[in-house]
Amino acid sequence: MSNDPKQRIFSGMQPTGSIHLGNYLGAFRNWVKLQDEYDAIYCIVDLHAMTIDYDPVDLERARIEAAKVLLALGVDPDRSLLYAQSQVPEHAELAWILGTLTPMGVLNRMTQFKDKTSAGHASNLGLYSYPVLMAADILLYRANLVPVGDDQRQHIETTRDLAERFNNRFGDIFPIPEPYIPTTSARVMSLTDPTAKMSKSDPQIRATVGLLDDPDIIRKRIRSAVTDSDPVVRYDTEAKPGISNLLEIMAGCTGRTIDSLVVEYGDGGYGAFKDAVAEAVVEELAPVKAGYTSITNGDVRAVLRSSGDRAREMVKPYQAEVHNAVGLKAY
Ligand code: TYM
């Protein structure tokens, strides 16, 4: 057996909107799975959630809700840290330091800023520099691996780029992190518009399956998912984005390959296929709701408090090293 210390993973989620099947299949399922093998740090990124218009009372509710869902999914606070970003001020401090190394041109290319502002969100400095704070989240803990959905690919690229810029300028401090993205269901699409990503902020309630939705709601949403009119079940994201999305979802929930699903459901019609997808999702999510209702808000606060304390201790020596490297030695 190797005595090497475990590699570290870091990932985050924004406490905004309701947590959906895409978050689960793209990321959270891996968060739970990777806890055995890695030293895992999971963060409710409340500072990121402030970059779009929000209600302070709602933010507090959403932080607790997000942490409760993650605990219900199986994030284990005895093995992993689960805390809120604002509990560790060094996230914001490192973001400032990295910001001094970030060319405007890099941020100008970020698709998330363009998407959010063209969707009507006010542009502000926080939203513009969102990827720098995200890089700080990951680099603060010297993470090696970042389990995320496909939509975060560009942000991880920027993180790698900033780590390299920092190391080149100040010495080899940060490992260059790798994304960990699932091979199926890495980008779950909206059920009402399968050319757009399933999103927590989608105003169309029928577009998503929430992780805490009742089985009958889940069945209804999947049965009414937008598809095409040619009734053959096959994988073709251009010609059949709706059916391809349902194939991805079913493959993600059952662990089966898309090819085997096409063989089984190809000629059976959309109705039978959608019923099978719905049952697979209902079965996969059944334990989440049961776990969720057994956790109190007090339990969640206790986990956040203790993980936050541990995270603050953990980052002290790391940040001292960064301070020394950039010329901010302690007096
Ligand atoms: P957030 O809160 O939007 O989403 C949480 C995770 O869910 C994944 N995801 C999806 N995966 C598949 N299909 C979808 N439709 C889908 N929608 C969301 C996301 O990829 C993510 O992994 N910027 C991040 C939060 C963040 C972060 C970090 C992540 C801040 N700092 C550091 C990793 C490391 C975000 O907005 O995730």
Which of 139-143, 165-169, 227-231, 316-320 is least confident?
A: 227-231
Burial (CB count within 10 angstroms: exposed 0-12, middle 13-18, buried 19+), residue 215: middle
- Mean pLDDT estimate for the chain: 96
Q: What confidence score (pLDDT) does residue 202 get?
A: 84
Instruction: Choose one of 9, 10, 11, 13 to mutate for the ligand 1 pocket test, by most ligand atoms within 8 angstroms of C-beta.
Output: 13
**H or E element in which residue 322 lies:** helix 297-326
Q: What confidence score (pLDDT) does residue 5 get?
A: 80
Place of tokens 């991805």: 248
Q: 178 and 187 in contact (C-beta within 8 Å)? A: no
Which of the four pLDDT bands, split at 50, 70 and 90, describes residue 1? very low
Task: Please check the confidence at residue 17 and state whether its pLDDT lies above 90.
Answer: no
Q: Is the dihedral of CA 45, 50, 51, 53 positive or negative?
A: positive
Closest to 208 (Cα-Cα) out of 195, 230, 192, 223: 192
Task: Please check the confidence at residue 124 and state whether its pLDDT lies above 50.
Answer: yes
Beta carbon of 116 within 6 Å of any ligand 1 atom = no
Torsions phi, psi of 286, nearest 5? -50, -45
Place of tokens 């993180």: 159
Which of the four pLDDT bands, split at 50, 70 and 90, describes residue 201? confident
Span from the CA of 153 to the centroid of ligand 1 (angstroms) = 10
Strand partners, 180: 147
Beta carbon of 45 within 6 Å of any ligand 1 atom = yes
Mean pLDDT, to the nearest integer, of 62-80? 97
Q: What confidence score (pLDDT) does residue 68 get?
A: 97
Beta carbon of 13 within 6 Å of any ligand 1 atom = yes
Task: Please check the confidence at residue 116 and state whether its pLDDT lies above 70.
Answer: yes
Beta carbon of 26 within 6 Å of any ligand 1 atom = yes
Q: What confidence score (pLDDT) does residue 3 get?
A: 59
Q: 54 and 286 in contact (C-beta within 8 Å)? A: no
Q: Which atom of ligand 1 is nearest to the CA of 187?
A: 13
Mean pLDDT, to the nearest integer, of 96-123? 94
Task: Please check the confidence at residue 19 and state whether its pLDDT lies above 50.
Answer: yes
Span from the CA of 90 to the centroid of ligand 1 (angstroms) = 21
Active-site residue list: 116, 197, 200
Mean pLDDT, to the nearest integer, of 92-101? 98
With residues binned 3-state (H G I as helix, E B as strand, rest as coil), the percentages for the chain, rounded to 5, are: 55, 10, 35
pTM for the structure as a whole: 0.96
Burial (CB count within 10 angstroms: exposed 0-12, middle 13-18, buried 19+), residue 237: middle
Which of the four pLDDT bands, split at 50, 70 and 90, describes residue 301? very high
Task: Please check the confidence at residue 2 and state whether its pLDDT lies above 60.
Answer: no
